[in-house]
Amino acid sequence: MKEKMTIIFFSGTMDKAVAALILATTAASMGMEVTVFFTFWGLGFLKKGRKFAGKNLFQRMLEIMLPKNRNSLPLTCFNMMGMGPWMMEKLMKQTRTPGIEELFGLAKELKVRLVPCSTSCGVMGADRENFIDGVEEPAGAAFYLKEAKEAKINLFI
Amino acid sequence: MQIDEPTEKRLLDCTGFFCPLPVVKTKLALESMKSGEVLKVTADDPGAKKDFPAWCSATGNGLIRTEERDGTFVFYIRKK
């Protein structure tokens, strides 16, 4: 059986997404089966467009406040109303450091599994059709823990 | 003693790329090669010095030779 690694991507910020994608792509390049489990703020990474399906008032408020998609994630520090991520993107381009799109493209090529947390989807009012292509069916904690139990490396980012 | 010179089947230039691109590109390049063939990778990410031996040992591919010249590394990797 293939060795496994799992990552819980909880934070939903750009810098942490880069960290998660670097580790996911490298592990996959080493022949591991990698599963990224997207919970809570992490769901923002998988968004296709502005809208989630939720009709509840708070869910609509969340929909407005959450980033539009993976290219508009805030920074963990120095966000400065969006100036931070913009500067960071420029800086990464200048230094030829791989950004979100390049890393995510590689992750898909290396068949990294993308699994949204079903409970987070319920809270946020997100349906599967709100997510980009290639995202698996939502799953719960039991699915994650089974994967984590079989994996040698499990990270919470 | 005669040293077996590695004759590479393919060349992969990763100069200018930072981690994780050199090892990820190496993995993708090896996919289209046959077992026993040698891939020559050049990289100038300072981390490559430790990354390539680690990656080869984790994947079972053979790192048969490493060269270092002015901050550029050359790795000869024999596909498992």
A16 located within any domain: no
SS3 of chain B: the string is: CCCCCCCCCEEEEECCCCCCHHHHHHHHHHHCCCCCCEEEEEECCCCHHHHHHHHHHHHCCEEEEEEEECCEEEEEEECC
B14 labelled catalytic:
no
Domain membership of residue B32 as a residue range? 10-78
Peptide bond into A67 cis (omega under 30): no
For residue B37, the domain's CATH number is 3.30.110.40
The pTM for the full model equals 0.89
A46 located within any domain: yes
Residue A99, burial from CB neighbour count under 10 angstroms (0-12, 13-18, 19+): middle
Q: Which amino acid is present at A46?
A: L
Rounded to an integer, the average pLDDT of B16-37 is: 95
Task: Write the residue in A31, A95, A106 that is nearest to B24 by C-beta.
Answer: A106
pLDDT of the residue at B4: 62
B32 interface with A at CB cutoff 8 Å: no
For residue A93, the domain's CATH number is 3.40.1260.10
A18 located within any domain: no
Q: Which residues of A touch B (CB under 8 A)?
A: 22, 25-26, 28-31, 95-98, 102-103, 106, 109-110
Please give the mean pLDDT across all residues of chain B: 92
Partners of residue B21 in chain A, C-beta under 8 Å: 98, 102
B2 located within any domain: no
B45 located within any domain: yes
A50 located within any domain: yes
Set B19, B21, B54, B64: catalytic member: B19
B3 located within any domain: no
Distance from CA of B4 to the nearest CA of A (A): 27
Rounded to an integer, the average pLDDT of A1-22 is: 96
A28 located within any domain: no
Total domains, chain A: 1
A20 located within any domain: no
B46 located within any domain: yes
Distance from CA of A116 to the nearest CA of B (A): 25
pLDDT of the residue at A109: 96
A138 located within any domain: yes
ipTM exceeding the 0.85 mark: no
Rounded to an integer, the average pLDDT of B22-33 is: 96
Domain membership of residue A110 as a residue range? 34-156
Total domains, chain B: 1
With CB atoms and an 8 Å threshold, state whether B58 touches A97.
no
Rounded to an integer, the average pLDDT of A143-147 is: 95
A27 located within any domain: no
With CB atoms and an 8 Å threshold, state whether A98 touches B58.
no
